[in-house]
Copies of this chain bind each other. A is one copy, B any other.
């Protein structure tokens, strides 16, 4: 999709009555991007053609994985961001004009059209969701399903397991630790990038133990936190934390590989797990996963998540960034550890 030529086409079309911001990648960085690698443009928003709807976005998701789609080295089963195109990603909005019978004005919809205030597209690209399911529509952008399938499918969580989660104060990790406990883990341990965040894990989120990964050898911190070893490691980072987890893992332990933040923040290989002698000797399983392979879990997870929220059994914290123009810097700040919980961008006024 060549977005720039598309915009031109749209501008020359009759019936334009709105403008909105969108964010494009303007240069592929060598390593981590800077805000200058993005441009925020005000573009004309056309009325929907037959079969299309026009959606005004309320919130969009920021996800550290987006950085890897920028560098183009992700290896992920998603297309990289192309220079000159609007960045895609999860967003939620409401229909303001519809030319398709499947959706009506006022409907709340999720989609993957990402970094823009307005989205106009075929109705089939939008999925209507229940406006009353959550206190705020942004909750739909949460990464609870990622955490859930990582624990249930990739790590095959069993009641009584001791579970270690890295980047545990982040969007996925904060869900993973809490869901592990709710699904029967005997002990949940988290690591994060500051003592403040470690205290957040044990205080607000109810982790049994937590540590700042800067605070001495990780394997020592992990051994103190899990004197009887760990059975499951929910890996958001790789590198030294992964090697430490393997070192103290119990026989038949399972590692769900969800992210590679350590590599992302350094923009280079991180040594990985080292040789596989312990993986062999302890009969460990290391499994990469992405949520896209497990979307059939969404209804089951959604029902549980809503129950947990209603009963106060789970804490769902959000950081809300205001305005598309602030999104590029916020994306970098996530990887730099600036936020706890899920980070979303509030779009429009």
Contacts and interface: CB of A to CB of B under 8 A. Distances in A.
B279 A286 contact: yes
A271 B275 contact: yes
**Main secondary structure on A side of the interface with B:** loop
A274 B276 CA distance: 10
A29 to B, nearest CB: 17
A285 B259 CA distance: 15
A55 interface: no
Interface stretch (A70-78, A123-131, A224-232): A70-78
Interface string A242-266: 1000000001100001111001000
* Residue of A258, A286, A288 with most chain B CB atoms under a 10 A cut-off: A288
B242 A277 contact: no
* Residue of A251, A259, A283, A289 with most chain B CB atoms under a 10 A cut-off: A283
A106 interface: no
Interface string A278-291: 11111111111110
A76 B280 CA distance: 7
A272 interface: yes
Interface string A136-164: 00000000000000000000000000000
Contact of A77 (B68, B242, B281): B281
Interface in A52-106: 68, 73-77
Contacts of A278: 75, 288
B288 A284 contact: yes
Interface in A16-47: none
B274 A259 contact: no
B277 A74 contact: yes
A220 B65 CA distance: 30
A254 to B, nearest CB: 9
A158 to B, nearest CB: 16
Interface residues of A, number: 40
Given A275-B269, A276-B260, A276-B273, A286 B283 contact: no
Contact of A280 (B257, B270, B277): B257
Contacts of A276: 235, 238, 242, 257, 260, 272-273, 286, 288
Given A77-B281, A278-B288, 11 more contacts: A75-B278, A235-B276, A257-B276, A257-B279, A257-B280, A260-B280, A271-B275, A279-B287, A279-B288, A281-B288, A285-B288
13 contacts: A74-B277, A75-B282, A77-B283, A235-B276, A259-B280, A260-B276, A260-B277, A269-B275, A270-B275, A272-B273, A276-B288, A283-B293, A285-B285
9 cross-chain pairs, A with B, having the tightest CB-CB distances, nearest first:
A75-B281, A280-B288, A279-B288, A286-B286, A272-B275, A285-B287, A269-B275, A76-B281, A272-B274
